[in-house]
């Protein structure tokens, strides 16, 4: 019977190190927020790392209190009897470096100045996030992960684990990911950035946390959120319905889809830091598996473990063709790769909305690894 992992607690790992970043700068000391579910076996061979998307966090399953209205963001996937079965696996989810949800990021205090980093925080790449995660896995006493699984930016992290830590992962499962960010995805993030920069409260990143650039940030989130959806899912959810509270010929009247984007953006402002949002967007823009290699082919020669890839038919942010570019190279290199194109109407968010469409294939893959 499928059930919840119950009440969970976020932990905080401290690292008194200076991490060498891809930019050439160093960052430290570091804090990473993380949660674990299930138990590590005596052989320490059943650990699975779950990697989150752009604005995700370490709280992937369960609840922090009985009164919580919603469980962790991937609760459908993690728990007793679920695909990431906590009766079998020790599941770890860490908040990425650069975030505002407990890990060191631009809102953190710079120990050298005693004030928040803000825009003095170094530009990060996904590879830097993965190197920080490796410190956590070391601290947990785990030599090798059974798999690294994640969607969107989480898929990028999974791929980086496979390429840069080939001896430390037995497999990777990238979902709705790509080998490099496309010009269109970068363009959408550029619009989001401009929305924030043009808000007078942004103050070149030196806004007061209690007075964030709410108007610009809400618009930036709305731009991003549109890219997570699809035309079909918008038709299903909103259609062309006009807001019942507005007059059809009221100049400022809104369609339901407009109200939704406004509501979603305003809520987001209350739970996420603006600079963290921009730094993680920059990391997404910079993502290219071939960075510091001569080509994607050279980078992917280092991926020796089995990989299981998923793309979704209606995803226009990281469309199937971008996933298939990586899969095709892996096949040409003779690497053990499996790929599934999942029919879903929910766009890029399909991996969160309809996990049941791909979870049986994940279970089969993991069973095969364990056999």
Instruction: Please spell the DSSP secondary structure of 13-41, one letter per residue.
Output: EEE-S-EEPTTS-EE-SEEEEEEEES---
Question: Has 348 been annotated as catalytic?
Answer: yes
Tell me if residue 344 falls in helix, strand or coil: coil
Contact between 235 and 347 under an 8 Å Cβ cutoff? The reply is no
228: closest CA among 294, 295, 316?
Answer: 316
Give me the catalytic one of 85, 348, 349, 350: 348
> Bridge-partner residues for 30, per DSSP?
15
CA separation for the pair 122, 118 (Å, rounded): 10
Give me the catalytic one of 152, 307, 344, 350: 152
Give me the catalytic one of 215, 285, 315, 349: 315
DSSP state at residue 358: T
Contact between 27 and 18 under an 8 Å Cβ cutoff? The reply is yes
Q: Buried b / exposed e across 42-51, counting CB within 10 Å, b at 16+?
A: eeeebbbbbb
Active site residues: 152, 315, 348
């Amino acid at each position: 019977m499928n059930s919840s992992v119950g009440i969970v607690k976020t932990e905080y790992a401290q690292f008194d190190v200076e991490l060498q970043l891809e930019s050439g700068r160093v960052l430290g000391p570091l804090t990473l927020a993380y949660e674990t579910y299930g138990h590590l076996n005596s052989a320490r061979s059943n650990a699975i790392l779950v990697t989150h998307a752009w604005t995700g966090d370490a709280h992937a399953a369960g609840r922090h209190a009985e009164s919580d209205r919603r469980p962790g963001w991937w609760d459908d996937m993690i728990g007793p009897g679920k695909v990431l079965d906590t009766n079998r696996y020790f599941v770890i989810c860490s908040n990425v470096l650069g975030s505002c949800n407990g890990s060191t990021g631009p809102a953190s205090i710079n120990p050298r100045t005693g004030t928040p980093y803000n825009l003095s925080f170094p530009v990060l790449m996904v590879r830097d996030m993965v190197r920080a995660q490796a410190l956590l896995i070391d601290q947990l006493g785990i030599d090798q992960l059974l798999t690294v699984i994640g969607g969107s930016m989480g898929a990028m992290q999974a791929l980086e684990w496979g390429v840069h830590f080939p001896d430390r992962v037995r497999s990777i499962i990238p979902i709705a990911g790509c080998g490099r960010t496309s010009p269109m995805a970068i363009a959408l993030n550029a619009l989001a950035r401009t929305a924030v920069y043009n808000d007078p409260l942004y103050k070149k990143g030196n806004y007061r946390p209690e007075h964030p650039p709410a108007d610009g940030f809400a618009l930036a989130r709305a731009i991003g959120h549109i890219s997570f959806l699809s035309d079909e899912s918008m038709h299903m959810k909103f259609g062309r319905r006009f807001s019942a509270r507005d007059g059809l010929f009221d100049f400022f009247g809104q369609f339901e889809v407009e109200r939704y984007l406004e509501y979603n953006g305003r809520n987001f402002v209350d739970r996420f830091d603006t600079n963290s949002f921009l730094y993680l967007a920059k990391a997404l823009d910079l993502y290219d598996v071939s960075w510091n290699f001569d080509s994607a082919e050279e980078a992917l020669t280092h991926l020796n473990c089995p990989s299981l890839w998923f793309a979704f038919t209606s995803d226009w942010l990281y469309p199937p063709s971008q996933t298939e570019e990586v899969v095709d190279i892996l096949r040409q290199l003779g690497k053990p790769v499996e790929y599934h194109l999942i029919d879903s109407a929910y766009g890029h968010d399909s991996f969160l909305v309809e996990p049941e469409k791909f979870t049986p294939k994940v279970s089969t893959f993991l069973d095969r690894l364990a056999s």
